């Protein structure tokens, strides 16, 4: 009875916590369908004209395309660098490893305002402000820690005896990594990629310093829209942005379920294969 009551109590606390975190965010969805010219909740009537305004306004679409392009490129770069960093930190034996780990995680620890101001001063001198390359460089630096943490956790739990067995059969280091190591840590890599994408897609602080009239990202465009005119168009684009983030995390959850299904399938079939060979 006590265990049941404890589980129910923990479930209620978890549900209340989820509601506390999500409800303020999800409010923008009904607000985006308001027929009023101002943001209000609950909406007095429903209309889809604000989504039509998004389609008719090329500046919103251009900003969304810029954010998507920067996020995808930053994700690829962060995954490559994060995997290499995780391999070095988990398997490397070198002095000052703790200090190097702190440097890799520094972009997460240092306030983004300081990061944005610092890179703005440097990029202004070398002409990287209002450029895709400048945003990719900064967003990659901000996303690498998330990839490194996820991949490092996967490498720690990975049984290296599998690699040693492959190498004893003649597989080289590169072949072993791509055929043995990478498939086994793929869920961790994918999780890091999702966090890297969301980090870049949502980033507004550093983007404010690096964007301008010639190029702007979606979060900066939303911020500018809130300052200039507060209408449901901002709620509509915010709702669409939430759906992009939700799709990324749903893909992460689907990957986890697929991984469990594959493990269950292998655990059921491996004994049978051994029995046939015997």
What is the domain-level CATH number for residue 141?
A: 1.10.3720.10
What are the pLDDT digits (tens) for 112-146?
A: 888 888 889 988 888 888 888 999 999 999 999 99
Can you tell me the distance from the alpha carbon of 195 to that of 192, in angstroms, rounded to the nearest whole number?
5
Least confident of 81-85, 110-114, 273-277: 273-277
User: Rounded mean pLDDT of the chain?
Assistant: 79
37 within a domain of the structure (yes/no): no
Tokens matching residue 244: 């992009």
What are the pLDDT digits (tens) for 14-66?
A: 888 888 777 777 777 777 776 666 666 666 666 667 777 777 778 888 888 89
7 within a domain of the structure (yes/no): no
Which pTM was predicted? 0.78
Domain count within the chain: 1
Sign of CA dihedral 86, 87, 88, 91: positive
Region of residue 230 (phi > 0: left; psi between -120 and 50: alpha; otherwise: beta): beta
Q: Please name which of 242, 244, 226, 246 lies closest in space to residue 234, comparing C-alpha atoms.
A: 226
11 within a domain of the structure (yes/no): no
62-71, 74-83, 216-225: which has the highest mean pLDDT?
74-83
Helix, strand or coil, per DSSP, at residue 150: helix
258 within a domain of the structure (yes/no): yes
Q: Please name which of 133, 273, 278 lies closest in space to residue 215, comparing C-alpha atoms.
A: 133
147 within a domain of the structure (yes/no): yes
12 within a domain of the structure (yes/no): no
Using the 8-state DSSP alphabet, how is residue 157 labeled? T
Contact in structure between 176 and 163 (CB atoms under 8 Å):
yes
What are the pLDDT digits (tens) for 146-158?
A: 999 888 888 887 7
165 within a domain of the structure (yes/no): yes
106 within a domain of the structure (yes/no): yes
Tokens matching residue 130: 């209002």
Q: Please name which of 21, 23, 28 lies closest in space to residue 222, comparing C-alpha atoms.
A: 28
pLDDT of residue 142: 92
pLDDT of residue 272: 46
Report whether pLDDT(1) > 80.
no
pLDDT of residue 270: 47
What is the average pLDDT across 166-190? 80
Range of the domain at 114: 45-262
């Amino acid at each position: 009875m006590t265990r049941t009551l404890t589980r129910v109590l923990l479930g209620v606390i978890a549900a209340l916590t989820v509601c506390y975190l999500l409800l303020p965010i999800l409010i923008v969805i009904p607000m985006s369908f308001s027929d009023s010219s101002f943001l209000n909740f609950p909406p007095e009537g429903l209309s889809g004209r604000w989504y039509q305004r998004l389609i008719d306004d090329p500046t919103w679409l251009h900003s969304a395309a810029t954010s998507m392009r920067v996020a995808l490129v930053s994700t690829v770069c962060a995954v490559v660098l994060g995997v290499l960093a995780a391999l070095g930190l988990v398997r490397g034996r070198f002095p000052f490893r703790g200090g190097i780990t702190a440097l890799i995680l520094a972009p997460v620890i240092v306030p983004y305002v300081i990061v944005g101001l610092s890179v703005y001063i440097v990029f202004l001198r070398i002409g990287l402000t209002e450029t895709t390359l400048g945003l990719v460089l900064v967003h990659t630096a901000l996303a690498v820690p998330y990839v490194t943490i996820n991949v490092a956790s996967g490498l720690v739990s990975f049984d290296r005896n599998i690699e040693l067995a492959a190498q004893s059969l003649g597989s080289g280091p590169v072949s072993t990594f791509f055929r043995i190591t990478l498939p086994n840590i793929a869920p961790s890599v994918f999780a890091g990629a999702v966090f890297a994408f969301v980090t870049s897609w949502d980033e507004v602080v550093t983007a404010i310093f690096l964007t301008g009239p010639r190029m702007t990202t979606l979060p900066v465009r939303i911020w500018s829209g809130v300052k200039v005119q507060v209408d449901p168009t901002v709620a509509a684009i915010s709702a669409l942005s939430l759906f992009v983030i939700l799709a990324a995390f749903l893909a992460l959850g689907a990957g986890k379920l697929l991984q469990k299904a594959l493990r269950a399938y292998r655990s059921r079939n491996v004994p049978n294969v051994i029995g046939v060979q015997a």
